[in-house]
Amino acid sequence: MTSFPNRPAILVVDDLKDTADSFATVLDLLGYDTRVAYSPREVGRLVGEGFQPDAVVLDIDLGVQSGFDVARELCAALGRRPVLVALTGHQGLEARAKREGFDHHFLKPANPSDVAGVLPH
């Protein structure tokens, strides 16, 4: 993805590579500074390298770890809470996502342009 230092930084996290890449491509085309992580480990690596996302589009079911746990760990590592957008293929998680501090919730398959509408500009 292209780096735009004066544009909002977005982290897309999904263990489904095609989903993550398609979201990142659309957001990149919309001018966001976009990075992709396919696992919780990659999230840690990006943050460790200094990436400071303004918002995170995060799959709730990452297989090896819950997106809820990843969000908590990410916020702790950043020392702040970016805009958190839950993206999930499981119905019935919207209330939990709100309780866990997510600002927005989308059910897969979500339109990347709709998700972009809730991201910082």
What DSSP designation does 41 have?
H
- How far is residue 88's CA from residue 25's CA, in Å, rounded to a whole number? 19
**Separation CA 2–CA 110 (nearest Å):** 23
Give the structural domain span for 83. 9-116
The pTM of the whole model exceeds 0.85: yes
Tell me the pLDDT tens digit for each residue of 36-82: 999 999 999 999 999 999 999 999 999 889 999 999 999 999 999 99
For tokens 């997510």, what's the residue? 102
- 4 is a domain residue: no
CATH number for the domain that contains residue 88: 3.40.50.2300
Q: How high does pLDDT run on average in the chain? A: 91
* Interatomic CA distance for residues 94 and 24, integer angstroms: 23
